[in-house]
Protein backbone atom coordinates (compact mmCIF):
# COMPACT_ATOMS: atom_id res chain seq x y z
CA UNK A 1 0.00 0.00 0.00
CA UNK A 2 1.31 3.47 -0.87
CA UNK A 3 2.83 5.03 2.29
CA UNK A 4 1.04 8.36 2.00
CA UNK A 5 -2.32 6.72 1.24
CA UNK A 6 -1.84 4.58 4.35
CA UNK A 7 -1.11 7.63 6.50
CA UNK A 8 -4.29 9.28 5.17
CA UNK A 9 -6.32 6.20 6.11
CA UNK A 10 -4.67 6.11 9.55
CA UNK A 11 -5.63 9.68 10.41
CA UNK A 12 -9.15 9.30 9.03
CA UNK A 13 -9.56 6.25 11.28
CA UNK A 14 -8.08 8.04 14.30
CA UNK A 15 -10.30 11.05 13.69
CA UNK A 16 -13.32 8.75 13.73
CA UNK A 17 -12.22 7.42 17.12
CA UNK A 18 -11.69 10.95 18.45
CA UNK A 19 -15.11 12.03 17.19
CA UNK A 20 -16.58 9.07 19.06
CA UNK A 21 -14.86 10.18 22.30
CA UNK A 22 -12.17 7.51 22.09
CA UNK A 23 -8.93 9.47 21.94
CA UNK A 24 -6.12 6.95 21.29
CA UNK A 25 -3.01 7.14 23.46
CA UNK A 26 -0.06 7.95 21.22
CA UNK A 27 3.57 8.99 21.51
CA UNK A 28 6.26 10.54 19.38
CA UNK A 29 8.88 7.86 18.79
CA UNK A 30 12.37 7.61 17.35
CA UNK A 31 14.28 4.43 16.57
CA UNK A 32 17.98 3.82 15.88
CA UNK A 33 19.93 0.75 14.77
CA UNK A 34 23.54 0.91 15.98
CA UNK A 35 26.84 -0.94 15.96
CA UNK A 36 29.63 -0.65 18.50
CA UNK A 37 32.68 1.33 17.51
CA UNK A 38 35.93 -0.67 17.62
CA UNK A 39 36.78 -1.76 21.14
CA UNK A 40 33.41 -0.73 22.58
CA UNK A 41 30.65 -2.91 24.03
CA UNK A 42 27.37 -2.73 25.92
CA UNK A 43 29.14 -1.77 29.16
CA UNK A 44 30.30 1.42 27.46
CA UNK A 45 26.73 2.16 26.34
CA UNK A 46 25.22 1.66 29.81
CA UNK A 47 28.02 3.66 31.47
CA UNK A 48 27.41 6.51 29.01
CA UNK A 49 23.68 6.50 29.77
CA UNK A 50 24.12 6.65 33.55
CA UNK A 51 27.16 8.95 33.68
CA UNK A 52 26.59 11.27 30.72
CA UNK A 53 23.23 11.09 28.96
CA UNK A 54 20.80 11.05 31.86
CA UNK A 55 22.58 13.79 33.87
CA UNK A 56 22.70 15.99 30.75
CA UNK A 57 19.04 15.24 29.89
CA UNK A 58 17.87 15.91 33.45
CA UNK A 59 19.44 19.34 33.24
CA UNK A 60 18.67 20.34 29.66
CA UNK A 61 15.76 18.44 28.12
CA UNK A 62 12.57 20.46 28.51
CA UNK A 63 10.29 17.57 27.60
CA UNK A 64 9.73 14.15 29.18
CA UNK A 65 11.58 11.37 27.33
CA UNK A 66 11.80 7.64 27.98
CA UNK A 67 14.35 5.45 26.19
CA UNK A 68 15.18 1.77 25.85
CA UNK A 69 18.26 -0.13 24.68
CA UNK A 70 17.22 -3.14 22.60
CA UNK A 71 19.58 -6.09 22.22
CA UNK A 72 18.69 -8.72 19.59
CA UNK A 73 17.99 -12.10 21.20
CA UNK A 74 15.67 -14.32 19.13
CA UNK A 75 16.59 -13.36 15.57
CA UNK A 76 17.94 -14.58 12.25
CA UNK A 77 21.58 -13.67 11.62
CA UNK A 78 20.93 -12.70 8.01
CA UNK A 79 18.10 -10.32 9.03
CA UNK A 80 19.71 -8.61 12.02
CA UNK A 81 22.87 -6.70 11.10
CA UNK A 82 23.21 -4.37 14.09
CA UNK A 83 24.53 -4.76 17.63
CA UNK A 84 21.81 -2.88 19.47
CA UNK A 85 18.89 -0.56 18.97
CA UNK A 86 17.63 2.53 20.74
CA UNK A 87 13.98 3.55 20.89
CA UNK A 88 12.82 6.74 22.57
CA UNK A 89 9.36 8.10 23.32
CA UNK A 90 7.97 11.56 24.02
CA UNK A 91 4.46 12.81 24.60
CA UNK A 92 4.30 14.18 21.04
CA UNK A 93 6.51 14.80 18.04
CA UNK A 94 6.71 18.45 19.07
CA UNK A 95 8.29 17.27 22.32
CA UNK A 96 10.61 15.01 20.30
CA UNK A 97 11.67 18.12 18.39
CA UNK A 98 12.40 19.92 21.67
CA UNK A 99 14.68 17.04 22.70
CA UNK A 100 16.41 16.93 19.31
CA UNK A 101 17.03 20.70 19.35
CA UNK A 102 18.73 20.31 22.72
CA UNK A 103 20.66 17.19 21.67
CA UNK A 104 22.18 19.02 18.68
CA UNK A 105 22.95 22.22 20.59
CA UNK A 106 26.41 23.49 21.47
CA UNK A 107 25.69 22.65 25.11
CA UNK A 108 25.40 18.97 24.19
CA UNK A 109 28.47 18.86 21.93
CA UNK A 110 30.76 16.96 24.30
CA UNK A 111 28.03 14.50 25.31
CA UNK A 112 27.08 13.93 21.67
CA UNK A 113 30.74 13.42 20.72
CA UNK A 114 31.15 10.77 23.41
CA UNK A 115 28.07 8.92 22.10
CA UNK A 116 29.59 9.01 18.60
CA UNK A 117 32.83 7.53 19.95
CA UNK A 118 30.90 4.53 21.33
CA UNK A 119 28.33 3.80 18.63
CA UNK A 120 27.78 4.06 14.90
CA UNK A 121 24.03 4.41 14.30
CA UNK A 122 23.46 3.93 10.58
CA UNK A 123 19.71 4.46 10.59
CA UNK A 124 17.28 6.71 12.42
CA UNK A 125 13.55 7.00 11.86
CA UNK A 126 10.49 8.58 13.40
CA UNK A 127 7.29 6.65 14.13
CA UNK A 128 3.88 7.37 15.60
CA UNK A 129 3.47 4.88 18.45
CA UNK A 130 -0.20 4.17 19.21
CA UNK A 131 -1.10 2.18 22.30
CA UNK A 132 -3.42 -0.80 21.93
CA UNK A 133 -2.89 -2.16 25.45
CA UNK A 134 -1.19 -0.58 28.46
CA UNK A 135 1.03 -2.91 30.51
CA UNK A 136 -0.28 -3.75 33.97
CA UNK A 137 3.27 -3.65 35.36
CA UNK A 138 4.88 -0.24 34.70
CA UNK A 139 8.34 0.05 33.15
CA UNK A 140 11.07 0.78 35.68
CA UNK A 141 14.33 2.54 34.90
CA UNK A 142 17.25 0.13 34.89
CA UNK A 143 15.04 -2.95 34.59
CA UNK A 144 14.79 -5.28 31.58
CA UNK A 145 11.69 -6.48 29.76
CA UNK A 146 11.38 -8.48 26.55
CA UNK A 147 9.98 -7.03 23.34
CA UNK A 148 8.48 -8.90 20.43
CA UNK A 149 8.42 -6.90 17.17
CA UNK A 150 6.55 -7.99 14.06
CA UNK A 151 5.95 -6.45 10.65
CA UNK A 152 2.19 -6.41 10.04
CA UNK A 153 -0.39 -5.46 7.43
CA UNK A 154 -4.17 -5.56 7.42
CA UNK A 155 -5.70 -8.63 5.79
CA UNK A 156 -7.95 -8.04 2.80
CA UNK A 157 -11.16 -6.28 3.76
CA UNK A 158 -9.82 -4.93 7.07
CA UNK A 159 -8.54 -1.46 7.89
CA UNK A 160 -7.76 1.03 10.66
CA UNK A 161 -11.47 1.34 11.39
CA UNK A 162 -11.52 -2.31 12.55
CA UNK A 163 -8.82 -1.78 15.18
CA UNK A 164 -11.02 -0.67 18.07
CA UNK A 165 -13.21 -3.79 18.01
CA UNK A 166 -10.18 -6.01 17.46
CA UNK A 167 -8.25 -4.42 20.33
CA UNK A 168 -11.22 -4.84 22.68
CA UNK A 169 -11.53 -8.52 21.84
CA UNK A 170 -7.81 -9.16 22.29
CA UNK A 171 -7.56 -7.12 25.49
CA UNK A 172 -10.49 -9.00 27.03
CA UNK A 173 -8.85 -12.28 26.03
CA UNK A 174 -5.45 -11.28 27.43
CA UNK A 175 -7.02 -9.96 30.64
CA UNK A 176 -8.60 -13.36 31.19
CA UNK A 177 -5.32 -15.20 30.76
CA UNK A 178 -3.43 -12.81 33.05
CA UNK A 179 -1.14 -11.22 30.48
CA UNK A 180 0.83 -8.31 32.03
CA UNK A 181 2.54 -6.79 28.99
CA UNK A 182 1.64 -3.96 26.65
CA UNK A 183 0.89 -3.69 22.92
CA UNK A 184 1.75 -0.80 20.61
CA UNK A 185 1.60 -0.16 16.89
CA UNK A 186 4.54 1.75 15.40
CA UNK A 187 3.40 3.58 12.26
CA UNK A 188 6.44 4.41 10.05
CA UNK A 189 7.28 8.06 9.48
CA UNK A 190 10.20 10.23 8.34
CA UNK A 191 13.51 8.40 7.99
CA UNK A 192 12.03 4.90 7.74
CA UNK A 193 12.69 2.85 4.62
CA UNK A 194 10.64 3.67 1.53
CA UNK A 195 10.92 -0.01 0.57
CA UNK A 196 8.76 -1.11 3.52
CA UNK A 197 5.76 -3.08 2.27
CA UNK A 198 3.93 -3.23 5.58
CA UNK A 199 1.35 -1.13 7.37
CA UNK A 200 3.09 -0.93 10.76
CA UNK A 201 5.35 -2.67 13.28
CA UNK A 202 3.59 -4.44 16.14
CA UNK A 203 5.38 -4.20 19.49
CA UNK A 204 4.32 -6.57 22.30
CA UNK A 205 6.18 -6.46 25.62
CA UNK A 206 6.63 -9.22 28.20
CA UNK A 207 7.85 -8.98 31.77
CA UNK A 208 9.51 -12.43 31.92
CA UNK A 209 10.66 -15.09 29.48
CA UNK A 210 8.17 -17.40 31.18
CA UNK A 211 5.36 -15.04 30.16
CA UNK A 212 6.65 -15.00 26.60
CA UNK A 213 6.83 -18.80 26.50
CA UNK A 214 3.30 -19.02 27.88
CA UNK A 215 2.12 -16.76 25.05
CA UNK A 216 3.75 -19.03 22.47
CA UNK A 217 2.05 -22.06 24.02
CA UNK A 218 -1.28 -20.23 23.96
CA UNK A 219 -0.83 -19.24 20.32
CA UNK A 220 -0.09 -22.86 19.32
CA UNK A 221 -2.48 -24.86 21.50
CA UNK A 222 -5.41 -22.47 21.85
CA UNK A 223 -5.61 -21.07 18.34
CA UNK A 224 -9.27 -22.05 17.96
CA UNK A 225 -10.37 -20.06 21.03
CA UNK A 226 -8.32 -16.92 20.35
CA UNK A 227 -9.99 -13.85 18.80
CA UNK A 228 -9.93 -13.58 15.04
CA UNK A 229 -6.96 -11.61 13.79
CA UNK A 230 -7.38 -8.75 11.31
CA UNK A 231 -3.64 -8.74 10.60
CA UNK A 232 -1.07 -10.69 8.64
CA UNK A 233 2.27 -10.56 10.48
CA UNK A 234 5.68 -12.08 9.90
CA UNK A 235 7.74 -14.19 12.31
CA UNK A 236 8.64 -12.03 15.33
CA UNK A 237 12.04 -10.81 16.37
CA UNK A 238 12.52 -10.68 20.15
CA UNK A 239 14.81 -8.27 22.01
CA UNK A 240 15.87 -7.69 25.57
CA UNK A 241 14.85 -4.11 26.38
CA UNK A 242 16.68 -2.22 29.12
CA UNK A 243 14.77 0.84 30.30
CA UNK A 244 17.62 3.35 30.10
CA UNK A 245 15.62 6.46 30.92
CA UNK A 246 12.11 6.70 32.37
CA UNK A 247 10.52 10.09 32.75
CA UNK A 248 6.69 10.10 33.15
CA UNK A 249 4.62 11.89 30.53
CA UNK A 250 1.89 14.38 31.39
Q: What is the pLDDT of residues 79-127, one digit of tens each?
A: 788 999 999 999 999 999 999 999 999 999 999 999 999 999 989 999 9
Query: pTM for the full model?
Result: 0.89
Number of neighbouring beta carbons within 10 Å of residue 221: 9
Return the minimum-mean-pLDDT range out of 66-80, 153-167, 234-248. 66-80
Give tens-digit pLDDT for 130-189.
999 999 999 999 999 999 999 999 999 999 999 999 999 999 999 999 999 999 999 999
Query: Is 198 part of a structural domain of the chain?
Result: yes
Query: Is 20 part of a structural domain of the chain?
Result: yes
Here the CATH number for the domain that contains residue 189 is: 3.30.70.100
- pLDDT-above-70 percentage for the chain: 90
Query: Is 161 part of a structural domain of the chain?
Result: yes
> Total domain count for the chain?
1
Query: 187 is in which domain, residue-wise?
Result: 3-245
Q: Are 80 and 239 in contact (CB under 8 A)?
A: no
Alpha-carbon gap, residue 166 to 173, rounded angstroms: 11
pLDDT of 17 higher than 80: no
Q: Are 33 and 69 in contact (CB under 8 A)?
A: no
Report pLDDT for 43: 98
Query: Is 250 part of a structural domain of the chain?
Result: no
Amino acid sequence: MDRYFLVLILFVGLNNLIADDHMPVSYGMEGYQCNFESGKNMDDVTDFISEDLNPYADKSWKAAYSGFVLTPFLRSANETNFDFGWVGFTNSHKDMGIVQDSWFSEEAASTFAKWDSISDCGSQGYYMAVEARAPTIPFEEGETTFWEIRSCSFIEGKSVEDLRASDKAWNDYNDNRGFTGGVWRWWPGPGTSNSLEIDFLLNVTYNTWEEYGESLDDEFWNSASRPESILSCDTPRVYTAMNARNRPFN
